[in-house]
């Protein structure tokens, strides 16, 4: 893909699901990949998959609620591969469908700290290195809940916030040659969703039936969009929330 080869990419939440598939797609395009995740086993597995196909990858355990961890993640890209060109800030947690007045302040704080402030921490660490390198591209993971009323209040608020960060960063750093966009996945067939389906089969069948595409999304479909957004083929796409939902929000 145009402009990805020989670049250096960071993917947070790279140990499973969308993050793993994005890391694999970057590697397929011959980028070197820093796989960041709090899940060491999953992160190591992603690296093994990349290296097994002849790619370059390094795992770094990263808790996006810890600024020192995030700084170390970016430093790993510099130390191992000499710079940073692309980032997919994807690490996050899902909501439990609770109504606004029915969860406590600790639950609110945790959701915001991971899903929103975690993205901000990553941006804060990544942007200066990309600016020094002459530019780059960053994709943040939001959600259909970031552009609609889907999801519980704290989840929706966190994902709306990700889009706000993405747009503001675009305005602040376009002159530094850095592009920012967000992907807004619908219901994607990830381990997180699979677990929810096992816990409530009837609810998952109802959700799937309500998707015009008639199926869940594949993590590879999100990953391919992320890598395209980082490529030169998307050089004029800036500050956009890209909805990938099988037509869910078209209804």
Q: Is 29 left (phi over 0), alpha (psi -120 to 50) or beta?
A: alpha
Residue 2 lies in a domain: no
Question: What CATH number did the domain enclosing 196 receive?
Answer: 3.40.50.720
Positive or negative: CA dihedral 66, 177, 169, 190:
negative
Choice among 81, 103, 155, 236 that is catalytic: 155
Residue 81 structural domain: 8-244+246-250
Residue 159 lies in a domain: yes
Contact between residue 178 and residue 123 where contact means Cβ atoms under 8 Å apart: no
pLDDT digits (tens, 9 = 90+) for 97-132: 778 998 899 999 999 999 999 999 999 999 999 999
pLDDT at 204: 81
Buried b (16+ CB within 10 A) or exposed e, 81-114: beebbbbbbbbbebbeeeeeeebeeeebeebbeb
Angle between helices 153-173 and 105-115 (to 10 degrees): 30
Domain tally, the chain: 1
Contact between residue 171 and residue 129 where contact means Cβ atoms under 8 Å apart: no
Residue 1 lies in a domain: no
**Residue 96 — pLDDT band, cuts 50, 70, 90?**
confident
Among 30, 118, 33, 53, residue whose Cα is nearest residue 109:
118
Residue 39 lies in a domain: yes
State the chain's mean pLDDT as an integer: 95
Q: What is the mean pLDDT of residues 64-70?
A: 98
| Whole-structure pTM value | 0.96
pLDDT digits (tens, 9 = 90+) for 75-89: 999 999 999 999 999
**Residue 192 — pLDDT band, cuts 50, 70, 90?**
confident
pLDDT at 196: 59
Residue 77 lies in a domain: yes
Active site residue 173: no
- Is the predicted pLDDT of residue 198 greater than 80, yes or no? no
């Amino acid at each position: 893909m145009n402009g990805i080869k020989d670049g250096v990419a960071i993917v947070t939440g790279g140990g499973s699901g969308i993050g793993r598939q994005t890391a694999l797609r970057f590697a397929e395009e011959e980028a070197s990949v820093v796989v960041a995740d709090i899940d060491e086993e999953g992160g190591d597995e992603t690296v093994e998959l990349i290296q097994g196909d002849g790619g370059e990858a390094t795992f770094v355990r990263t808790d996006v609620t810890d600024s020192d961890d995030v700084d170390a993640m970016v430093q790993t890209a510099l130390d191992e591969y000499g710079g940073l060109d692309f980032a997919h800030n994807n690490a996050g947690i899902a909501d439990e469908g609770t109504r606004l007045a029915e969860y406590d302040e600790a639950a609110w704080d945790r959701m915001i700290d991971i899903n929103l402030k975690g993205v901000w921490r990553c941006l804060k660490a990544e942007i200066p290195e990309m600016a020094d390198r002459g530019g780059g591209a960053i994709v943040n993971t939001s959600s259909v809940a970031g552009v609609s009323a889907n999801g519980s209040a704290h989840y929706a608020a966190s994902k709306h916030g990700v889009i706000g960060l993405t747009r503001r960063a675009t305005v602040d750093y376009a002159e530094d040659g850095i592009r920012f966009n967000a992907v807004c996945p619908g219901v994607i067939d990830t381990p997180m969703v699979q677990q929810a389906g096992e816990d409530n089969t009837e609810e998952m069948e109802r959700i799937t039936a309500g998707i015009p595409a008639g199926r869940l999304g594949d993590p590879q479909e999100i990953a391919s969009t992320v890598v395209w957004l980082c490529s030169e083929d998307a050089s004029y796409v800036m500050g956009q929330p890209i909805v990938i939902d099988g037509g869910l929000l078209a209804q």
